[in-house]
Structure 1
Amino acid sequence: MTATQSDPGPITRAERDRRLARLVALLAASPLDAIVLEPGASLAYLCEIRWHLSERLVALVVFADGSLLWVAPAFEERRLAAALADPSSGGPTGPILPWNEDESPFALLAQRFAERGTSHVAVDPRARAFLVQELTALLGPAALHSARPLLRALRSRKDAHEIALLERAAEITKHSIERATAELAPGTTDLSLAARVRELQEEAGLRETWALALFGDDAADPHGEAHGKRLRAGEFVLLDTGGALHGYQSDVTRTFVFGAPPSAEQRRAWESVRAAQRAAFDAMRPGVPCREIDGAARSVIEAAGWGAGYTAFSHRLGHGIGIEGHEEPCLDGAESDPLEPGMCFSNEPGIYLPGRFGIRIEDVVCIGEEGARVLGGWQIGPESARSGPGPGK
């Protein structure tokens, strides 16, 4: 394949402002009075402020009436104010509640909540334990709530710009995989393949790149560790890699046989994984529970004789992707949440046979009004890592 799409460009300040307005609307429609966000993915979704997480509390509080409050150490107040005022990379402006080193920021925040009559506060489900513990001690356990439903509603349905970024990132990664694997020769190490595919992605504009290359029986561990193993003809190569384009992630896995035609068993196993991926894809449409998508893939692996449940296909089918490599939704056998238009997630079934080989094929898909489509094409066959047009609308 060739990288055909142009760069969609970064998310703009106006887009982030609209996201904040949506968050306020979601709060207003809920029983919640406010949400507290520390530096992390959800705060980055709303603004360009990047702040180091430490034991000193820095947070944004968004209230259901649309007002904002930043919390920061007093000695950082000027730096935060300057960052918020930057028109190119700033964030939503609002008063800053400063706290000195001999004060408790949680007590000050609780006092502000009391003054406003704030009685129900949401916190990011990934918030650090000490934040939850301190606020619980001051506000009472009935006052704190998980922000997971709120953030899921805010972030899980991608808009056209986000989808374009995800698709371009996927294209770059798949093109880089093809180039890197075309250079393979007997004796190439897993570490050098991983380094090469990262290099190619970075040359094409991705950042935060990562790669895992596993050869032969090493791939029987889905998240195995490369250790300098040298490649031999006739064994599987599993390459799982990605990076970020303007903060939006790619995540692609290709498995193929190097240097020789696939054996009958290798081909049958690879085709079983592809059939599972296709079965899951065909089941994807708005309203279908995530667990049914996982089940559609898992039943194909079982029917092909590779084992029931998690015997050979030992992990969930997929995970959401966006500004985080792993986010909502989760496609596993327990998740009852339904698919919705705009959701983007990985479709990555596998077969792992310890001491023999491992296979995973992974592509990101996007849910539309009537079905799904693969972003950036999908793998053609077990002979190479080449991608061709994928199915979908």
Structure 2
Amino acid sequence: MIRTPRDLLGYAYSPIPNHYESLQSIKSSFHLANPYKSQPINLSFHLENHCASSKPINSSEFHVRQQKLAETLHSLNASAYIAEPGASAQYFGNISLTSWKLSERPLLLIITPVVVDDKVKANISILTPYFEATRAKLLPVPFDSVRYIEWAEDANPYEIAAAEILAEGNVFMDDASRLFIFDGFRKALPRAIISPVPPEIKELRQRKSEAELDLLKCANEATLLAIRNVHKRMYVGMRESEARKMMSIALQEVGLQNGGCLTLFGENAALPHGSGTDRELGEFDFALFDCGGNLHGYISDVTRTVILPQSWQQIPAEHHKIWNIVQFTQTVASRSAIAGAIAQDVDTAARSFLRQTGYDTYFTHRLGHGIGLEGHEEPYLRGGSLDVIKIGHTFSNEPGIYIEGKVGVRLEDCFYINAQGRPVFFTEGVGGQAGSPWDP
């Protein structure tokens, strides 16, 4: 059945249903010895490692990535691709910022296409400071014959690299490369055109493989499970910093690394990135959790705005209405995010619905961002983006309403475009979208 805007508004504005009986069962699952006094935090959740069976990307997938890059470079008449340690070097060469920190001395991944027996193949070189060469050779680069180009302290590293790879024509630098790296190669390769990577190369990382999607699914499921467990231990009088600490522990227990959470109580949630205070949770407050962690390099991002069960009847009716509107806005946006759609049109769909509710001016940021090896990456679901949504793309879907000094609500689930061109929430395996402010 096709819903008209009036139908949609009716859904969003419908009175809060009488969930009293189900709420009693929910309340019984919460451990609130005295909900009106600050309690010591139990620092162990004893959660199951949700991602214990997940495996990092294997060597064969790295080889496929390198081969696709070499073929793309060849088709674009490019002689080299160059990246500093970071998300792109991690994608093509397993060199992350964790394995090699940036400094003024460049270490670079250089991939060049070569034609052997009419077939394009990838060659991989690592430009490394001479005194760091031994450590560089310990990097787990998944390639059979990596070439190491060493440069001494009194040498120009870009001239050394240029002499070794003899690059001409187009040379593509990863977008995240620092300006002095660009300038160094422009001077060292006067006959080459040094430029940022084109869309054809960006797309290689943007469209995720099944192995990548599996990691993102598990990471996002684990994040939501952690939020639910912390929600059960919340109490009136706890501080935002206490909730953050609880979330960090819960994220680690469910199998994620470097987990963290933005926790905002009451009117602090009306500032999307917080106020910098450490507010106590009041009896009638919403609490916003925006959390994520790392699973074998892949990042999760889940947001829930929740209340305590005993606050259900005390929360202002308008706040309940706002929560319902944000939840349905997320649904409207999801229905628009199909393969072939334009990114800005998905953002517009969310805003058009909010405009009919009268709350559109309180949605102050883009609808979503890409996600993968970085928490925020291209493409983005925002106004002005003409990117075409394709199978394998991954995004966040995070509408919000922020009324400063009063209330803030945001709900976020990341999703991918499946083989049929349809959006699927990464959290679907553990329930998907939030059901209510007390059922995240």
Pick the aligned partner of 2:340 from 269, 275, 287.
Answer: 287
The corresponding residue for 2:311 is 260
Distance in 2 between residues matched to 1:324 and 1:141, nearest whole Å? 34
CA distance in 1, matches of 2:411, 2:289: 9
The Cα shift of 1:154 comes to 1.1
What CA RMSD, in Å, does the superposition of the two structures yield over aligned residues? 2.0
Residue equivalent to 1:47: 93
Equivalent residue in structure 2 for 1:105, among 157, 182, 199: 157
How far 1:162 moved relative to its partner?
A: 0.9
Does the CA contact (< 8 Å) of 2:301 and 2:412 recur in 1?
yes
Q: Is 2:51–2:222's contact at 8 Å kept on the other side of the alignment? A: no
Report SS of the residue matched to 2:90. helix
| Structure 2 match to 1:383 | 437
Alignment TM-score, normalising by the size of structure 2: 0.81
| 1:186 matched to 2:236 | yes
**Counterpart residue number, 1:27:** 73
Aligned ranges 1:197-236 → 2 under 5 Å: 197-236=247-286
Q: 1:390 maps to what in 2?
A: none
Give the 5 Å matches for 1:35-74: 35-49=81-95, 50-65=99-114, 66-74=122-130
Q: Report the count of equivalent residues.
A: 376
Cα distance in 2 between the residues matched to 1:304 and 1:9 = 45
| Structure 2 segments unaligned to the other structure (5+ residues) | 1-25, 27-46, 115-121
Return the alpha-carbon distance in structure 2 between the equivalents of residues 142 and 298 of structure 1.
Answer: 45
Three-state SS of the structure 2 residue aligned to 1:67 is strand
Separation of aligned partners in 1, 2:363 and 2:192: 41
Offset of 1:380 from its aligned partner? 3.4
SS in 1 for 2:427: coil
Q: What SS is found at the alignment partner of 2:154?
A: coil
Distance in 1, matches of 2:356 and 2:191, equals: 48
In 2 relative to 1, CA 223–140 (structure 1 residues): closer, same or farther, beyond 3 Å?
A: farther
Does the CA-based 8 Å contact 2:401-2:410 persist in structure 1?
A: yes
The aligned counterpart of 1:246 is: 296
Matched, 1:362 2:436: no
Distance 1:231 1:10, change over 3 A: same
Q: 1:117 to 1:246 in 2, by over 3 A?
A: closer
The aligned residue for residue 12 of structure 1 is 58
Three-state SS of the structure 2 residue aligned to 1:163 is helix
**Contact 1:318–1:330 (CA<8 Å) still a contact in 2?**
yes
For 2:345 and 2:211, how far apart are their aligned partners in 1? 29
State whether structure 2 residue 437 is matched by structure 1 residue 374: no
Return 5+ residue gaps in structure 1 as ranges.
387-393
* Shift of residue 94, structure 1, vs aligned partner: 2.3
- Higher alpha-carbon deviation: 130-139 or 291-300: 130-139
The residue that corresponds to 2:372 in the other structure is 322
Tell me which amino acid in the other structure corresponds to 1:100.
A
Deviations 1:318-339 (A, max 9, x none): 1111111111211110110111
Over 3 Å counting, the alpha-carbon distance change for 1:184 and 1:148 in structure 2 is: farther
Displacement of 1:126 in angstroms is 1.1
The separation in 1 between residues aligned to 2:123 and 2:421, in whole angstroms, is 38
Q: How does 1:296-335 map to 2 (within 5 A)?
A: 296-307=349-360, 311-335=361-385
| Partner SS, residue 101 of structure 1 | coil
Contact 1:252 1:364 in 2 (8 A): yes
Pick one of 157, 173, 177 that aligns with 1:123.
173
Structure 1 residues 288 and 372: CA distance shift in structure 2, 3 A: same
How far is the alpha carbon of 1:141 from its aligned partner?
Answer: 9.5
Q: Secondary structure at the match of 1:192?
A: helix
The answer to whether the 8 A contact 1:273-1:359 is kept is: yes
CA distance in 2, matches of 1:379, 1:285: 18
Q: 1:120-177 CA deviation, whole Å, 9 max, x = no partner?
A: 1000111101111222233349711111524421111111111111111111111110
TM-score, normalised to structure 1, is 0.90
Q: Distance in 2 between matches of 1:239 and 1:327?
A: 21
User: Could you tell which deviates more after superposition, 25-34 or 174-183?
Assistant: 25-34
Equivalence for 2:39: none
**Aligned partners of 1:68, 1:20: CA distance in 2, in Å?**
9
166, 172, 182: which is aligned to 2:222? 172
Superposition pairs for residues 67-86 of structure 1, below 5 Å? 67-81=123-137, 83-84=138-139
> Matches of 1:314 and 1:302 in 2, distance apart?
13
Local SS of the residue matching 2:56: coil
What is the alpha-carbon distance in structure 2 between the residues aligned to residue 187 and residue 151 of structure 1? 51
